[in-house]
Amino acid sequence: MTARAISGTSFRRMVNVVAIFVVALLAVAAKPAGRQSAAIAKERYLSPIEIASSPDGRLLYVVCQDSDEVRVVDVQSSKVVSKVAVGRMPRGIALSPDGRHLYVTNAWSDTVSVIDTADLKVVQTLPTGPEPSGVVSDSSNTTLYVANRLSGDVSVIDLKRGQETKRLLAGRGASYLALSPDGKWIYCTHIYPNAGAFRTQPNSEITVIDTERQMVVERKPLHNVAGVFHVALSSDGRLGVAAQLRPKNLIPLAHVEHGWAFGDSLTLFGDDVGGTVQIPIDELERYYALPWGVAIAPDKSKIFLTTAGSESVTVIDVPRLLKAVRARRQSFVNDLSASADYLLTRIPVGHNPRGVLLSQDGTRLYVANRLDDNVAVIDTATLQLTSTIDLGGPKNSDALRRGERLFYTADFAFQGQFGCANCHLDATIDGLQWDLEPDGFGKDIVDNRSLESLAGTEPFKWNGGNADMPTECGPRTEKFFFRSQSFNQQQLTDLVTFVYSLPYRPNRSRLPNGESTPAQERGKAIFERAKYKSGKPIPDANQCATCHSGPKYTNQKQVDVGTGKSTDRSPVIDVPQLSNVAYSAPYLHDGSARSLEEIWTVFNPKDMHGASNDLTKDELNDLIEYLKTL
Amino acid sequence: MKPRIWLPKIIFATLALLITAAMAAAQDMPLFRWENFTTANGLPDNHVFCVLVDGNRIWAGTENGLGLYENSAWKVFRPAPDQPQQSLAHQAVLSLALDRRTGDVWAGTMGGLSRISAGRIDTFTQLTSGLSNDIVYGVGVQGDFVWTATAAGASRLNTRTGQWALFNERNTPMYEIWTYSVSPADDKVYYAVWGGGVLEYDVKTEHWKDYNDPDGETELVLMKDQGLIHEITTSVSYVDKILWVATYFGASRYDGRYWHNFLQKDSGLPSNFLNQVKAIDANRAWFSTDKGLAYYDGTNWAVYRPALDTHKPEMLVRDSAGTLKKIPVQSTLAHNYVLGVDFQGDDIWVATAKGLSHGIRQKSSLETAHIVNQQKTTRKQ
């Protein structure tokens, strides 16, 4: 049959059928991953994120985040020789000083798996705080320190008794630890900024722990910094380096062309520099997004830094760097031309490079390519990628993996300035409030919202302006934020699939047995109440459960609850979902409420945001205890 | 007749023995050389509400700022809106507690609770957190819990989970909610409730029990040692399973079964108006009163103060027989109105209405005399 033989009616029918088929295909592709996950999740990706090595350097221990295991690699053969199952979502690893044990943090199990390196078996499981991340043992291997991301503290664990003895206050989102070569100090960094006043520059810290006293003795302030990742010390202990982001969230993000989105940088500290010094790693016309893993060569000649959003390793010449730092009296972290003074090279590696490890002799650098399921090997003399160690895992990249790569890469943004993961650190939040719109400074400020379990929470944006995720991730992100090349339809579908796949993290406020505490029960009754304490009915619109209804605790509508500010174009706000709301402070559309309490104690004077003004302090506390369980 | 001959001798010997014992008791009472701090040498304010010893560091909560004395210099913390990480909840600091495991200092203020951790200050208020009230009269640390005594009941923060638990008239026998002081221990937590006696929290059973006027009709005990001396309590100190209570009308000691009360008229207390009691152990305690600082060693009493009439340094010792003796001293507290103490080894730090005093323990009266002579010599020069 030829086209000519088809009648006009038949042709229109065929066009309609094809169009419906295409739309259906796109709709299926863009469906929330929860509906597709049965097909997608058959073979698990590995997602290597951290690396440790045996004392003799013959074995690599690679933490595989998505397969919940440690894969053991024989360096000589470049083969995986063993797999050790650990807890859920492993995130950090450390080798005991005697090399007999590996400590692996399980971020979603709130434990540390202790692995016997001789048998390669888990011999003990230690409890930690919520979302344990970085881990390090003291030099005598009597005490283990674990950075807990959700509680922003460091667990001090007595290894002999296998018990946590105390927690030390660190920065919000405490995540990475490094032990000084003399064993006296532990340095802790954190990925979310510490609490501060509304619309002020973010501040972070490097928390210094005295291992003898097991106490925090110093907090090195990091001004204008939010998002601090790995920290490393030189072998002589005189130079410390932390990888970090400098967000420019007080300026409208529409000024990407001026470089006003993020600065990628390092903080240097220690005797070599005196105090703390922040240095840029970006260049005037090219950014190296998400500086993450860092290592210093044993001879202190070079700093190696993974830039997780730019798929590369940045190599810095330390003597030139120190010379540049000493030559400049004033801060130069915003002078992107300065990096030319100390930059050696950029080495392309795989997708989303994260943890780095230098061999003991310093001749090789191992890089965990998280979204390629392999480890890159770099010759530190030639600064060339020499090989790649395949860790196994699925050979083909499906929509989830492709989407995750798109989420983490900064390639789509103008000059590679940033990607989705810059604001949604590890696919969560950044704890910041952004001035997104080009409507003047300080207008329409918006708080960063969680991405957990998003299906069924549409529309998106705080004003509900984006009806669906393809609109949110597509035109809004690519054109408005990135100011650069657009995603094609396949890419957009992949990205949407990944974002929709982001799960609900374990909720720590729920009791393990599924029951509720008395305070949570009382709070639930308040949340669901239809009458004031006086007995008078509460109007539907003022009942918590009216707007925060359904499985995600949102009715997906937009309402004015009296929280709009004079700087907002409209007081009508999209009803946010409440999944794991306890982890996403600050609150309200603009992040003006520093705590859940402030939503009602400060920002609900007219009782428009739920009937709360007849509650006692006890009852408000109960309500909050309930909200923490959602 | 022989008995008549020997009787006076026996009486004399007995008296001599008692006097000697009393003298010995007097000499055993701690002697101090006092050094005083005021705004003249860096203290943030002379009205000092509380003091906390943290090794070689001294924290002084004053009416206008928190002072930290370290390496012979004062550093002052106050509200600093432009520096949130360095900003104290309020300048009037009413109470202090040290978490000995972490080194964190908790400051109860007139405007909330602040946690000072290696230089960083995080603040909790009734608006930003689950704290029951911003007027935090008392604070104490018990493991992972921080207990506060506020103007609207008791609050307990679980520092691991961030959960707040409130205790007030709705869930305890607290018929007054003006809690003034808290003394937490592993087994019990005690609250001084101003006008409401003492509340006891049993850590194991999580039950509350109150101690008030035994007859329930008045605010004070009618029969001595029948119960808590008075319901207007200002301070509790629970040490070695012994509870010490300060009130505006005397002090009490409770061993779990028996009460023993102390009044100005029948003890060495210089006044019945007490701001604080702080015990060393089951038998020894320090009492902060409006008329000086008192020490009780289980038998004898000592009072340290500027004399109420002449304002000259004064130390009074009262033995078990009630004999009062003046000990010559050359230095004394900054003021007789005492609000609180803390211990630094054998030394003592004292918060007064007109400065902070450091009592440097002298090992013997001889040594005191030596120092006194030295001071006299110095003055002559």
pLDDT bin (cut points 50, 70, 90) of residue A36 is very low
| Over residues B105-134, mean pLDDT | 97
Pick A235 or B218 by higher pLDDT.
Answer: A235
- Work out the mean pLDDT of chain A and round it to a whole number: 92
Residues of chain B found within 8 Å of residue A168, distances taken between Cβ atoms: 102
A219 contacts in B (CB within 8 Å)? 117-120
Give the residue from A204, A526, A107 showing the smallest Cα distance to B84: A204
When pLDDT is averaged across residues B122-151 and rounded to a whole number, the result is: 97
> Which of the two residues, A437 and A29, has the higher pLDDT score?
A437
Rounded Cα distance between A226 and A248, Å, is 10
Cβ of B117 and A200 within 8 Å?
A: no
N-term to C-term CA, chain A: 60
Question: Which residue, A228, A264, A305, is CA-closest to A415?
Answer: A264
DSSP codes, A38-55: HHHTTS----EEEEEE-T
Q: What is the value of pTM for the model shown?
A: 0.90
Q: Which residues of chain B have a CB within 8 Å of the CB of A213?
A: 103
Contact assignment for B152 to A617 by CB distance below 8 Å: yes
Are B288 and B303 contacting, i.e. CB atoms less than 8 angstroms apart? no
Using CB atoms, pick whichever of A167, A197, A215 lies closest to residue B84: A197
Q: What is the DSSP letter of A479?
A: I
Enumerate residues 6+ apart whose C-beta is below 8 A from A570: A463, A564
Q: Where are the beta strands (DSSP E) in B164-249?
A: 164-167, 179-184, 188-193, 197-202, 207-211, 233-239, 242-247
Measure Cα distances from B356 to A495, B82, B316 in Å.
Answer: 64, 29, 21
* Partner-chain residue, chosen from A217, A595, A621, that has the shortest CB–CB distance to B166: A621
Distance between CA atoms of residues A1 and A151, nearest Å? 69
Is A595 touching B (CB cutoff 8 A)?
yes
Q: Is the pLDDT of residue A485 over 70?
A: no
Q: Which pLDDT does position A14 carry in this prediction?
A: 44
pLDDT at A268 over 80: yes
In this prediction, residue B371 has a pLDDT band, given cuts at 50, 70 and 90, of: very low
When the pLDDT of each residue in chain B is averaged and rounded to a whole number, the result is 90
Burial of A16 (0-12, 13-18, 19+ CB in 10 A): exposed
The one-character DSSP state at A281 is: -
Which range among A426-440, A549-563, B232-246 shows the weakest confidence by mean pLDDT?
A426-440
> What's the confidence (pLDDT) of residue A248?
93
Angle, helices A489-501 vs A33-40, to 10°: value is 90
B31-380 has CATH 1.10.3720.10 classification? no
For residue A525, what are the contacts with CB-CB under 8 A and spacing of at least 6? none
pLDDT at site A106: 98
Instruction: Indicate if the pLDDT at residue B200 is higher than 60.
Output: yes
Nearest to A59 by CA among A12, A99, A14: A99
> Residue B85 is encoded by which pair of tokens?
């990480």
Residue A470 — φ and ψ, nearest 5°? -55, -35
Phi and psi at A220, nearest 5°, equal: -80, 115
Identify the pLDDT of residue A42.
66
Residues of B in contact with A203 (CB under 8 A): 85
B62, B90 in Cβ contact below 8 A? no
| Count of positions (residues) in chain A | 630
A587 against A474, higher pLDDT: A587
Q: What pLDDT does A253 receive?
A: 82
Task: Check B128 against A594: CB less than 8 A apart.
Answer: yes
Phi-psi region of A152 (alpha: psi -120 to 50; beta: other; left: phi over 0): left
Please judge whether A215 and B152 are an interchain contact, meaning their C-beta atoms are less than 8 angstroms apart: no
pLDDT of residue A524: 98
Q: Phi then psi for A284, rounded to 5 degrees?
A: -60, -35
For residue A300, the one-letter residue type is K
End-to-end CA distance of chain B: 64
Q: Using a CB–CB cutoff of 8 Å, tell me whether A516 touches chain B.
A: no
The shortest CB-CB distance from B118 to any of A218, A594, A617 is to A218
State whether residue A562 sits within 8 Å of chain B by CB.
no
Q: Contact B50/B62 with Cβ under 8 angstroms?
A: no
Look at residue A38 in the predicted model and tell me its pLDDT.
Answer: 44
> Does residue A155 contact residue A167 with C-beta atoms inside 8 Å?
yes
Using DSSP, state whether A111 is helix, strand or coil. Answer: strand
Range B190-194 average pLDDT: 97
Q: Grade residue B377 by pLDDT with cuts at 50, 70 and 90.
A: very low
- Of B101, B117, B127, Cβ closest to residue A597: B127
Q: What is the arithmetic mean of pLDDT over A529-550?
A: 96
How close B80 gets to chain A, by Cα (Å)? Answer: 11
Q: How far apart are CA B70 and CA B320, in angstroms?
A: 40
Which neighbouring-strand residues pair with B109?
A: B93, B112
Subunit contact A168:B102, Cβ cutoff 8 A: yes
CA distance A305 to A577: 37
pLDDT in tens, A73-82: 999 999 999 9
A-B interface: how many C-beta pairs under 8 angstroms?
84
Classified as helix, coil or strand, B271 is: coil
Residues from chain A contacting residue B152 (CB–CB below 8 Å): 617
CA nearest A595 in B: which residue?
A: B128
In this prediction, residues A100-104 reach a mean pLDDT of: 98
Rounded to the nearest 10 degrees, the angle between the axes of helix A399-408 and helix A489-501 is 90
Reported as a single tens digit per residue, the pLDDT across B14-39 is: 555 544 554 555 558 999 999 999 99
Q: DSSP secondary-structure letter at A591?
A: S
Grade residue B6 by pLDDT with cuts at 50, 70 and 90: low
Each residue's pLDDT tens digit, A43-98? 899 999 999 999 999 999 999 999 999 999 999 999 999 999 999 999 999 999 99
A510 touching B (Cβ < 8 Å): no
Q: Helix, strand, coil proportions of chain A in percent (round to 5)? A: 20, 30, 45
Q: What is the C-alpha to C-alpha distance for residues A457 and B260, in angstroms, rounded to an integer? A: 66
What is chain A's Cα-based Rg? 25
Judge whether A75 and A61 are in contact, CB under 8 Å.
no
Which residues in chain A are closer than 8 Å to B130, comparing Cβ atoms?
A: 597, 617, 620-621, 624
Which is nearest to A556 in space by CA: A413, A477, A456? A456
Q: Is A403 helix (H, G, I), strand (E, B) or coil?
A: helix
Residues 221-280 of A with CB under 8 A from B: 221
Phi, psi dihedrals of residue A434, rounded to the nearest 5°: -115, 150
Q: pLDDT tens for residues A132-155?
A: 999 999 999 999 999 999 999 999
pLDDT band for position A1 (50/70/90)?
very low
pLDDT computed for residue B223 by the predictor: 80
Residues of A in contact with B166 (CB under 8 A): 617-618, 621
For residue A585, the chain B residue with the least C-alpha distance is B128
DSSP B54-83: ETTEEEEEETTEEEEEETTEEEEE---TT-
Q: A217 contacts in B (CB within 8 Å)?
A: 103, 118
Residue A415 pLDDT exceeds 70: yes
Of A307, A193, A316, A295, nearest to A240 by C-alpha is A295
B163 and chain A in contact, CB less than 8 A: yes
Percent of chain A with pLDDT over 90: 86
Q: Is B129 on the interface with A (CB under 8 A)?
A: yes
Q: Which domains, ranges and CATH numbers included, belong to chain A?
A: 11-42+449-506 (no CATH), 48-390 (2.130.10.10), 518-627 (1.10.760.10)
Distance from CA of B140 to the nearest CA of A (A): 17
Q: Does B117 touch chain A (CB under 8 A)?
A: yes
Angstrom distance (rounded) from CA A357 to CA A365:
6
pLDDT band at A535 (very low <50, low <70, confident <90, very high): very high
Cβ contact B120–A194 (<8 Å): yes
What are the strands of the beta sheet with B207-211, ordered from one edge?
Answer: B179-184, B188-193, B197-202, B207-211
Between chains, do B160 and A129 touch, taking CB under 8 Å as contact? yes
Say yes or no: B83 contacts chain A, CB-CB below 8 A.
no
> What residues of chain A lie within 8 A of the CB of B132, using their CB?
617-618
d(CA A186, CA A480): 42
The strand pairing partners of A189, in sequence order, are A176
User: 3-state secondary structure string, A244-268?
Assistant: EEEECCCCCHHHHHHCCCEEEEEEE
Q: Does A601 touch chain B (CB under 8 A)?
A: yes
Retrieve residue A347's tokens.
Answer: 């080495």
Q: Is A74 exposed, middle or buried (0-12, 13-18, 19+ CB in 10 A)?
A: middle
**Phi/psi zone of residue A357: left (φ > 0), alpha (ψ -120 to 50 degrees), beta?**
beta
Is pLDDT above 80 for A381?
yes
Facing B128 at nearest CB: one of A205, A213, A595: A595
Residue B95 has pLDDT above 60, yes or no: yes
Half-sphere exposure of B348 (CA within 13 A, CB side): 27
Overall average pLDDT of the A500-517 stretch: 94
Q: What is the mean pLDDT of residues A270-286?
A: 96
Most confident of B84-88, B344-348, B361-365: B344-348
Window 165-224 of A: residues touching B by CB (8 A cutoff) are 165-169, 194-197, 200, 203, 205, 207-208, 213, 215-219, 221
Asked if residues A272 and A322 have their Cβ atoms less than 8 Å apart, the reply is: yes
Take residue A458 and report the two structure tokens written for it: 């549409």
Question: In the predicted model, is pLDDT for residue A258 greater than 90?
Answer: no
Distance of alpha carbon A5 from alpha carbon A9, whole angstroms: 11
Work out the minimum CA distance from B184 to partner chain A, whole angstroms: 18
Check: CB of residue B180 under 8 Å from CB of residue B192: yes
- CB-nearest partner of A217 from B118, B152, B166: B118
The crossing angle, in degrees rounded to 10, of helices A399-408 and A33-40 is 120
- Tell whether A477 is within 8 A of chain B (Cβ): no
Whole-angstrom CA distances from A566 to A142, A563, A595 are 56, 10, 21
Whether A613 contacts chain B with CB within 8 A: no
Q: Which residues of A226-255 are buried (b: 16+ CB within 10 A; e: fewer)?
A: bbbbbbbbbeebebbbbbbbbbbbbebbbe
Q: Are strands B292-296 and B285-289 parallel, antiparallel or unpaired?
A: antiparallel
- Res A28 pLDDT > 60: no
Rounded Cα gap, residues A234 and A220, in angstroms: 18
Closest Cα in chain B, distance from residue A173 (Å) = 14
